[in-house]
Structures are given as structure tokens and as C-alpha cells.
Chains A and B, each alone.
Chain A
């Protein structure tokens, strides 16, 4: 059986693509580079939208990226069930593309924050979280200036009542996110967006003092193998 193929998207200004590819490879999958200007998903089994400042994040984080040629392919594929993970800027892009509801706004404290953050896993039924246990507390780095999750009351109520809040900040809320939300999923559970960075928590030697991020990639691999 050939290895599962996970696409790593690079926009101009994407920064964590090298890390994302490494995390995917460490989990045993093949990392396939996807270029923003191509109308081509290269037949990948899943897609990872890594962090950065795509197109300089001018106008609004993720606002320009959603119109890129690659996204015009990715949006319908994701709606049709292709597993997609967006972290940080990737999460912002998923929201701008309306694949996930709500928006990420300026941190409450107005500063960019880089720190190791405790996160609680609230939903283990998504394509990217099945290897966690419900309520598990994990340590992942956050590093963002605009990570405060906001949505209207009806959307929040729906996210909560349908169990679509996947991750919540445990301990102190770093950015003022409503309901301490760190990550959410779509109704089908194939698209997950979060502000923390699992790709920076996969090795003992580097990154955060944790390897909890590995489970994102083992989760998706199991899903792809069993599919």
C-alpha cells in the first residue's frame, strides 16, 4: 500500500510549510507541496493549510488567500469531504473561505503572543482528532497576533450544541477568544481549524516541550488507511 498523501499549501508569505511537511513525514505520510497559483490539488488524500502571513495578511488575515487559484479547487473538494486542517493563518483562511464559521480578530491584549499553551480536546470524532481522548489536556505552542475567535451568538450556540468546538484554551485564555475557543470543525468533521500549532510539537529535540501534536497526524493517517 502506498503512503497516504497530504498536501501542504504554500501561499506567498506562508511560513510554517516546512514544519508542516516535516510533521506529516514523521507520521509516515507523504508531504505533497501545493502551490497557491496552481489549479491543482495533485490528487492528495488530505490538505494542511499551515500558518504564516499569506499575501502579507494585507487587508485582513486570509482575506486575499481565499481567492487564490488553489483555494478555488480546495473549497469544493473540502465541501465534498476532503479532510482539511488549517492552523493559525490556515484557520483564518478557512474562516474567510466560509468553510468554517466565525472570524479571528486582534488579540485582546493587542500583542502578538508566542507561548506554550494548555489546550483541552473537546471533540475526538473529527478526521484530525480521533487519536486523542475526550477532555485530554495537551500542550501546543500558540503564536499569533490575531487569534481571538468571534462569532455571533446563534453561531456560537450552534457550535456548542453540536459539539463542533474541538479545542478550548485551558488555564488562561491567551487572546480573549469567545467561549475560550481554540479550534472548531464543520458539521461533517472533515475540516478542522485551530490557532495552536501541532506541527511545532512533534519532536523531543525541537519546538515546544511536548509531542502532543503527533496525534493530529496519526489521526488522519488512520482515517485515510481505513477509508
Chain B
């Protein structure tokens, strides 16, 4: 095979190149030719095609995502914002947390186990590359209908992949979501979140400054896996040839990743790393161009030095390989011996493959010939930007007009409760979460099924300060709400995650998001996207929580049918004294049960309409962000004053499901009287900005005062105790019957 060198490219300007097959448009290819003043070599084409793919360049979303910056609320906590591998937040006492959520949707459909596993691996490396120790993971999962045959293929594989990879890494899995909806059949959503901890003064960045500094590739050897994975899999819509794409999914080795974690932390402590970047989508192409672009501007790399698992790989393939468990570091020449010694201790292969230069060019050689010579910024930062056309979907008005008011209301509310409680979306997720280690590292304070995961900050890290603090994390999203109104739907996703953090007693601080949509080339999908981003950016400003980073996943569609637009939002919060965390649900008998927040008749996109009537229409619940903020203030203040014995957020399925889950948490029943005169609305409406709390009788007045001060409606519903959920005059269900119905929802389908 002829080596396509820069010289050869100059000599053969008219050679036809397979840019279209690599996903590049005519004008994009022409732009590369304009930048270089010649045709690109095949290696350069490989670099530009992956770096300019939707997945890596955000070319369709960029113009909208800017709002997360321009509308960002002032936040003293934000240490590193968007644009780095992950955002970093000041959590006090000299500590910082870094967190991010990222999608691995398409690979998880093609090969569920490896797709989901490497999704965890990828996000963990993002967190490591910020200088942090990864301390926990969460997963936000969406599948087709639970009873659809392909869900039985995809779900067990995805759960096993997350379980195997995450458990082997020794990271507790502290929460997330599992949602079923037929719209995700053929396009499951696997969004993985990781959170890491570091000392505030030890943040690492992806940058390659200092001419003469060495470029070190370390971790696993490079193989043929995932070649073109990012661009082929994430930028092309599935038809039925997905089996032909199987080799494009990466294969993970969690053992190597665990060694990489420990190795990186020791490298950071020894202070022998100038800049660092993980190798994810687009592998060596991405790491070299991004490091060089953010550093002094130049880099020379000898691709022959890249350690290979498959010695037959061509340079183009090395550049595009997405082999997992690899990192790239920039190291001062004097520090190389210490760097190598640490890698050796952890049995992590490490190789110097190049050097930082001040030429402004990224130059790569193969067998002594120059095969790449480009300005790195043109690949990393100056990719195409599209102002995609968008317009409201043709059926949107009709969808909004078809409200749930026309649906027949139930007469037997007990039966409605049990039907909802045993439905896949509201039933217990233990079938999934019991496959995840939630205890490892010994700092898990709250995990599934709590509203948010919570961790104590207690890591052995030299120079770190003792602290009583903890962090809380929650992810939420509701594709049905977003389908009805993407602007409000995105705000409701944020509101729910924000509320889930607040009910544990933590103060919400910062946001990450994973925006899952159909094809950006469809103006109707693009409208959903632009509305969702606008809604989320507006809501972040109102709630005072900045977006620190995230990920966009487009092309989640089969043929012309897109998934429901699904913005998934993660919120990180801090609690000053982790011992004051509020437990989930009813903790002991004899407590007063209070409902905080206002209930309106809101059934558009509700679980009731979905489960009982298979209906989706009307408008989602109102997103009252001022009310959310007031509620969160009450919850965190009450928790800090030790007034709350238990709490639970109200969301899918409304008060009825919240009461049932609160009873199930510790097996403590309750007897309550509903406010208002419509029991159905009181029990099943999904109005936002509400929470259920239980308090000692003597704390009631203090909580009521607090609510009055912040204008949060507060209703005394009744008392905890007994072995049944009793709603006076409406229904009574023994807790054991609730448990039976709730816990059998998933085993009934998945065994």
C-alpha cells in the first residue's frame, strides 16, 4: 500500500479521496483543501473527518449551546466551565468536585454490553484528566417498551456492561434513572455520569505548553477497535445495516482502567504532568490536535512509536482508533524518568511518541516521511459551524391541543395506584441497581432508590483538609414532557434534578447535561433542540446554577422517526455537614407528614395518561422556577436546622406514588387526608415544585414558619405509622402489598 505523504499529496492534487464515505460534505472537504493549500493526505483526512464529525465538533449544536455561557448565572463556585474535559466546582474547605454526563447511545444499541461498559470507561477518563480521583458513577438509561422483544436484548446487556465495568473499577454507582418508552426502541439512551474529587489547587488541563516537553502515550495498546466509531456510529442514522458496523464498537478492559486511575493519581501527586488528555472519540487525532491547539501550538509525533496490539495497523487507522484505556500526557524532559517509574509500578505501558514545538504545526511522521502537517487549531476548534434551519413540527399544535382533559377519570383510585406502581417506569429498579456496587470506597451516604446519591468527602489525598461536607447528585429527564414542549420539558428536567438534590438537604450548585435528540438535519428536530437549550439556559440563570459541561447526542432516530427529545440534566449539590443529610421516605412512626408546594390539575405527559391511556398530548406541567427555588431553600434550611426526619420529591405519578415510595423506604405506613376536593387530582397530578417531608410533631411549627417565610404552601397531610398506606376515605393498601406490586415490576419482564 502506498504511503500517502504530504509530498505525495502535493504531487497528486487531483487524486479522488473518500471524504464522503468518512462522513464529510463537499464543502467541508473543500475547506480542508483551502486550509492546507493542497489536498489532505489520507492521514490528515482521517483527522479532519473525525474532528469535524458532529460528535467531536458540535457543528450543529454550537450556535445554540453558546447560551449556556452567555446566559450563565454568576457563580463563585465555578472553577472550570465549559470547554474542558469536565467542569470543576468549588465545594469548600479546599476541595473541588468535577462531574460530567456523556452519552454512549449508538454503541449500546449495536453491542449493549461493550457499548455501555465503554461509556462508563470514557466518562471516568474525562474526570481523571481533570486531575481528580473518580469517586462515583451514575447512569441515566432509556429503553424501548419493557415488553418489546429488543428491550430484552438491550437492557440486560447494558446493565451487565455498566455493572462489570463500574464494579471492576471500584466506583460506587449511586443513582440514575431507568425509563421505558416505545420511542426508544432501536435508539436506547445510555448516559453515563462520573464525579471526581480533587484539591482545588490541583486542577489539570488539556494543554501542551513548553517546546521541548515530551508527549507520552500511556495505558492500553492501540488496536483496531472502534476505528471510525465516533464518526460512523454517532453521526449516521441507523438503518438496518447495524450488524455490519459491529466492529466499530470499542471493547473495554476495566482492570487496565483501574490501574490507569491509580497511576494517574500518583503521577499528579508526584507533580510530573504539565498537561493531560484522555483518548476518547477520535483517539490520537483528538488528543494531539486538542493538546497542541491549547498549548504552545505545535507538536511533532512519530506514529511508528505508538504501541500497537495489531501490528498491521496503518497510520490512518492508528489516528482513528478508539481503543479504550489510553491517556496522553505532556511531561517535562527531566520528569520523564519519574513518570516512567510510576507507570511501571502500576504495570501501565508508557511511550514517548513526540514533542511539543513552537512551530504552530502538528507534524506526524511514519517511516521517516511526513504524513501530517496541519495547524492543529483548524481541526480542534475551527470546524464547520452550522446554523441549521428549524421550525415548529407540523403536528405540534395538534399535539398540544389534544389535552388529557378528554381522558376518562378512574373511579377506583386504589386500582389506579397499584397499576401505576407496578408499571415498569414506576416500579422498583432493584433488578438493575442490585447489579451495581454502591458501597465500595466506603463513602456512600445515599444511593438508589434515594432521590439523589450522596457521598461523604473523605479521601486520602496528601495536603487535603478534613471536612464535614458531602456532595449530592441527581439526574433527571422526561422525554414526554419535552415532546409536548421542549422549552418547558428541559426546564422540568433541571427542576426535578435540582429538587432531588435539595430534598437530601444539599444545596444545588452546578449542572451538567446530556442532550439526546434525533437528526439535526430535520428542521423539526432542530426546533426541539433549540427550544430545549433555550429553556435550559433560561432556567439555569433563574435557579443560579451554571452549566459546567455536557454532551450532545444527535441522530437518535430510525428512518424518519426520532426519539422524544430527551434532555437529561444532572445537578451537583453540596451539604455542609453530611451527617445532617435527610433520609428518603418515612423513617419512623409518629411523624407528621407534610406536603410542600402547590398542586394544580396537570396531567399532560403524566404517567397516568401514559400507563392507563397510552396518551401523550396537551401541555406538560408548568415549570415554576421561583417556586422551585423557594422550595429548595426551605428544604436545605430545614435540613441544616435538623427539622426533617425524612423527605421525598414528588414527580412521576404524583403524590400517590410519592406516598407509596415513602412507605416502602423503611416499611413504615401512614394515614393521610388529601387537601382539596378532587382526590384524583390530589393523588396523580404531576405539578412540579412539590415535596413530601416528615417531621417530629414538635418541629411542625418551625417548618410551617419557614414555609410561610418563603411563600411555599404547606399542608399537614397526616401521620406516619401502621402497616398500610391509608388515604382517608379514598384508599388503603397494606405496605406489603405495595412492596409486592412495586418489586415485581421488572422481574416480571426480565426474570
Contacts and interface: CB of A to CB of B under 8 A. Distances in A.
Interface of A: 12-13, 15-16, 18-19, 22-23, 52-53, 55-58, 111-115, 141, 143, 145, 197, 199-200, 203, 205-208
Given A12-B347, A114-B434, A115-B434, A18 B442 contact: yes
B445 A13 contact: no
Interface stretch (B163-171, B332-340, B357-365, B591-599): B163-171
A46 to B, nearest CB: 20
A23 B441 CA distance: 11
Contacts of A52: 170
B255 A114 contact: no
29 contacts: A12-B258, A19-B440, A19-B441, A19-B442, A22-B442, A23-B442, A53-B168, A53-B254, A53-B258, A55-B255, A56-B253, A56-B254, A56-B255, A57-B255, A58-B255, A111-B163, A111-B435, A112-B435, A112-B437, A113-B435, A114-B433, A114-B437, A114-B439, A115-B434, A143-B440, A145-B167, A205-B456, A206-B443, A207-B439
Contacts of A13: 168, 255, 258-259
B442 A206 contact: yes
Interface-centre pick from B435, B439, B444 (highest chain A CB count, 10 A): B439
Given A13-B168, A58-B255, A207-B439, 5 more contacts: A13-B258, A19-B439, A57-B255, A114-B439, A206-B442
B346 interface: yes
A153 B435 CA distance: 31
- 5 closest A-B pairs by beta carbon, nearest first, are A56-B255, A15-B170, A19-B442, A200-B439, A53-B168
Given A114-B434, A143-B437, A199 B258 contact: no
B180 interface: no
B442 A143 contact: no
Given A53-B255, A56-B255, A114 B442 contact: no
B730 interface: no
B245 to A, nearest CB: 28
Interface string B193-230: 00000000000000000000000000000000000000
B460 to A, nearest CB: 7
Interface in B531-567: none
Interface in B422-442: 433-442
Given A52-B170, A111-B435, A16 B443 contact: no
Contacts of A199: 442
Contact of B440 (A12, A16, A111, A113): A16
Contact of B438 (A19, A111, A114, A205): A114
Contacts of A115: 434
A12 B170 CA distance: 12
A143 B444 CA distance: 14
Contacts of A113: 434-435
Contacts of A111: 160, 163, 434-435
A112 B259 CA distance: 22
A141 B438 CA distance: 10
B578 interface: yes
Looking at A18, A200, A206, which has the most chain B CB atoms within 10 Å of its CB?
A206
